[in-house]
Structure 1
Amino acid sequence: MSQSLPTSRLSSADVYRGFVMFLMMAEVLSFDKVSEALPESSFWKILAFHQSHVSWIGCSLHDLIQPSFSFLVGVVLPYSVANRLQQEGSFSKTFGHVLWRSLKLILLGIFLRSQWRNQTNFTFEDTLTQIGLGYSFLFLLNFRSQKIQITALIIILLGYWLAFAVYPLPDSSFDYSSVGVDKDWPHLLKGFAAHWNKNSNFAAHFDQCFLNLFPRENPFVFNGGGYVTLSFIPTLGTMILGLLAGNILKSTTTANQKLRTFIVLGIAGLALGSLINSLGICPNVKRIWTPTWVIFSGGWCFLLMAFFYWTIDVLEKRNYAYFLLVIGTNSIAAYIIAHTVDSYIAKSLFIHLGKDYAMIFGLPYKTLVQGTLILLFEWLILRWMYQKKIFIKV
């Protein structure tokens, strides 16, 4: 825990991080339940779609939370490393700190995924765990040239693609229900794209071997959402994109040049990712973090970074972003709060306001009213921490 923020922080990165963390915290608004109560409303259907993950191929706003968070780890790394080297005075001490931080991120992710379980849930697909698994490698790449960083990115994407592409497909008699997938599931892929099917791919097979090395209540067979441990490898690719962006921001080029670079890279990422997906070379799947997803989501990250850099750092509209800044400067605290105290706040509201307090606007909006109050209380906790200069660091 720290009592102050480093002076050389990138405000646009803090606000961007605050934006994506707010999207995560805002799950308590439960737009899906409002949409179910108002089935004829296209407005609530759209909001519900963008507050949930797509089933397999595609992208919603909610799907951009994790890549944005990972991307921003790379963006701020050149700044944080410079500060750490100034404090520690040596590479070895700084690298030791990085290794310790990586371990803490992994363990914190496992801890949060183990809540309300009978024993430790050794799973490694949590956002914090995924970042922790790749963070040390990202740190080492920070000291290499841009050419080497880009080469590493290409090797990661091609290697991860190849591992899936050469892994044998299940035979025609394979029972997909044995891995939690209905044979009539509309998102089941055919042909070459079937190498990236849910729970019958290379990374899913790895987890069936790897995760059963840990003590478990029951043997691991499949992940219900199709998430995999090995997605930390292409997640490192997303962090490398952020590292490239961070080095651009630290460069001596003008603000307009940086902005143009981000916009060009963003549009190129969206176009290339869409093309690779449409040609059937590799589907755009967030849940297993396909190379196409790295490129496509990376495009969105560059465009969002361009927007926040222009409005916050260039136009200096920081005062308008205070709400997000409070969240973004204490993102670990926000992550923990969103995963731990929302149920406690909900119970407290029922105790002190009565069981029908959320019915003020009618039954369809009950969960929205409750979620809004929970979100408000969580933000007030973060604002108190911000005012007291209490910042949780890992």
Structure 2
Amino acid sequence: MTTNTTQAAIETTGAAPLAEASQPGRLVSLDVFRGLTVLAMILVNNPGDWGHIYAPLEHAAWHGCTPADLIFPFFLFIVGVSIVYALDSARRAASRHGPLLLRILRRSALLFGLGFFGAIFLLWDLPTVRIPGVLVRISWVFLACGIIFLKTGWRTQAGLLAAILLVYSVLLQVVPVPGFGPANLEPATNLGAWLDRLVFGENHLWNQSRTWDPEGLLGTLPAIGTGLMGLLAGQWLRRPVLSSATRVGWLLLAGGAAVLLGLVWNSWFPINKSLWTSSYVLYTGGLAAATLAALYWLCDVRGYRRWAKPLLVYGVNAITVFFLSGLVARSLNRWKIPFGSQPAVSVKEVLYETLFTPYFTDPRTASLAGAAACVLIWLVVLWVMYHRRIIIKI
């Protein structure tokens, strides 16, 4: 990663230069949407106490969808939209496809490497390091959607999206699971969990289960579908012959239709984040499209942007803050110091028990206050970076 004091952009996710944010072809709303999403990631990933969390900030136990379950698909949808805005002009020249493919491969590899480093950081134990993960999945979605966007048109992309959702449904609901029998959607015995154990081995999966992984291999296929929905939305917004009202209206309509289809499909292929079911792709992708349409109308059409500056600050350094916040959180959990009568307590626990627990009667509120403090601390850091035009490019 490198810093750049003249171009405020994260090329991997297509953030617009600050100085150009209001120019035609640039989406302030995309940076705002990205900032809102990564801010929510920080809030959900850093509670003061994992044992006390308000329900909307917890992931669904299995089937179902909470507000916390919207964050990751929203980000992958944004990746798809960003690819359009980053590559659309260049892809029109076939002679530039080779260099663009190399850039896509390099950035995907870097995202994968950052995800792997975040998994092994302070553990340094290769035999048990988790290989799947959030950044790893983002890297695969970015790679696949980048190549698909370069080499296909929107009709092919829409066909691929439909094919992916249907094929994935068949794989999980029809194909027998070796060693377990009929297809099923249970955590440890579905086809995706079997594939992850076969490829990675149990030691390299999510340490809270070691039998399945919420960011596993097979689930990355429909996650690419989420990215494809972003590609389609981005190409729609870039159509120059349409009025702003038409862009917003039809994107809202398409988002609502996708939500409705997802809810209908939920009846026999339940909405499930860990499995990234086809109904989950449509439901969350539809909500993402509707959110982007609303932000586009507010920020890019009507020009109401002042309220969104904190989100812009988060949005232009989204991958950076997500990655660094994970390293800091792990460091605070791993470093031990004496506290009271206890010889060794994590620095995070000391800070939480000192600064938050004594001042709130409801432990869930104290836990939320700890997460909000984390969001505000990173906002200060990112605010300074924003005004000094320090943007980390990937």
TM-score, L = length of structure 1: 0.81
1:68 is displaced (CA, Å) by: 0.5
Of 52, 64, 70, 1:58 maps to 64
SS in 2 for 1:195: coil
Letter in 1 for 2:101: F
Per the alignment, residue 303 of structure 2 pairs with 316
Per the alignment, residue 240 of structure 1 pairs with 228
Letter in 1 for 2:317: N
Q: Does 1:26 find its partner at 2:43?
A: yes
Residue-by-residue CA offset, 1:329-381 (whole Å, 9 max, x unaligned) = 11011101321224667988998x99633356335344344433332211111
1:212 is displaced (CA, Å) by: 2.6
- The 1:367/1:61 distance shift into structure 2, 3 A limit, reads closer
Gaps of 5+ in 1: 36-47, 176-191
Deviates more, 1:131-140 or 1:314-323: 131-140
SS in 2 for 1:384: helix
After the TM superposition, which residues 341-352 of structure 1 pair with which residues of structure 2 at under 5 Å, given as runs? 341-342=328-329
After the TM superposition, which residues 276-315 of structure 1 pair with which residues of structure 2 at under 5 Å, given as runs? 276-278=265-267, 280=268, 282-315=269-302
Q: Is the 8 A contact 2:108 2:142 kept in 1?
A: yes
Of 32, 37, 51, 1:15 maps to 32
Letter in 1 for 2:166: L
Q: Is the 8 A contact 1:31 1:51 kept in 2?
A: no
Q: Is the 8 A contact 1:330 1:391 kept in 2?
A: yes
Q: Is the 8 A contact 1:170 1:200 kept in 2?
A: no
Runs of 4+ residues deviating >4 angstroms? 29-35, 82-89, 213-216, 343-351
After the TM superposition, which residues 217-256 of structure 1 pair with which residues of structure 2 at under 5 Å, given as runs? 221-223=210-212, 226-252=214-240, 253-256=242-245
Letter in 2 for 1:16: F
Alpha-carbon distance between aligned partners in 1 of 2:172 and 2:76, rounded to the nearest angstrom: 23
Letter in 2 for 1:326: V
After the TM superposition, which residues 27-176 of structure 1 pair with which residues of structure 2 at under 5 Å, given as runs? 27=44, 28-30=46-48, 48-82=54-88, 90-120=96-126, 122-143=129-150, 144-168=152-176
Q: Is the 8 A contact 2:202 2:211 kept in 1?
A: no
Alpha-carbon distance between aligned partners in 2 of 1:215 and 1:59, rounded to the nearest angstrom: 26
Superposition RMSD on alpha carbons, in Å? Answer: 3.2
Alpha-carbon distance between aligned partners in 2 of 1:226 and 1:142, rounded to the nearest angstrom: 26
Identity of aligned residues (%): 26
Alpha-carbon distance between aligned partners in 1 of 2:92 and 2:312, rounded to the nearest angstrom: 26
Letter in 2 for 1:11: V
Per the alignment, residue 357 of structure 1 pairs with 355
Q: Does 1:336 find its partner at 2:323?
A: yes
Q: Is the 8 A contact 2:48 2:369 kept in 1?
A: no
Q: Does 1:204 find its partner at 2:228?
A: no
1:390 is displaced (CA, Å) by: 1.4
Alpha-carbon distance between aligned partners in 1 of 2:79 and 2:253, rounded to the nearest angstrom: 21
Residue-by-residue CA offset, 1:123-154 (whole Å, 9 max, x unaligned) = 45422211211322212221322111111111
SS in 2 for 1:199: coil
TM-score, L = length of structure 2: 0.81
Letter in 2 for 1:270: V
- The 1:160/1:34 distance shift into structure 2, 3 A limit, reads closer
Residue-by-residue CA offset, 1:81-109 (whole Å, 9 max, x unaligned) = 14766999722111101101111111211
SS in 2 for 1:341: helix
Q: Is the 8 A contact 1:226 1:288 kept in 2?
A: yes
SS in 1 for 2:282: helix
Alpha-carbon distance between aligned partners in 1 of 2:202 and 2:303, rounded to the nearest angstrom: 51
Alpha-carbon distance between aligned partners in 1 of 2:89 and 2:320, rounded to the nearest angstrom: 21
- The 1:384/1:84 distance shift into structure 2, 3 A limit, reads farther
Deviates more, 1:96-105 or 1:160-169: 160-169
Per the alignment, residue 180 of structure 1 pairs with none
SS in 2 for 1:287: coil
- The 1:100/1:163 distance shift into structure 2, 3 A limit, reads same
Residue-by-residue CA offset, 1:227-261 (whole Å, 9 max, x unaligned) = 42221111110000000000011112111111111
Tell me how many residue pairs correspond in the alignment: 357
Gaps of 5+ in 2: 9-16, 334-345
Alpha-carbon distance between aligned partners in 2 of 1:265 and 1:114, rounded to the nearest angstrom: 41
- The 1:95/1:30 distance shift into structure 2, 3 A limit, reads same
SS in 2 for 1:339: helix
Alpha-carbon distance between aligned partners in 1 of 2:80 and 2:224, rounded to the nearest angstrom: 9
Per the alignment, residue 340 of structure 2 pairs with none
Deviates more, 1:59-68 or 1:110-119: 110-119
Letter in 1 for 2:119: R
- The 1:154/1:85 distance shift into structure 2, 3 A limit, reads closer
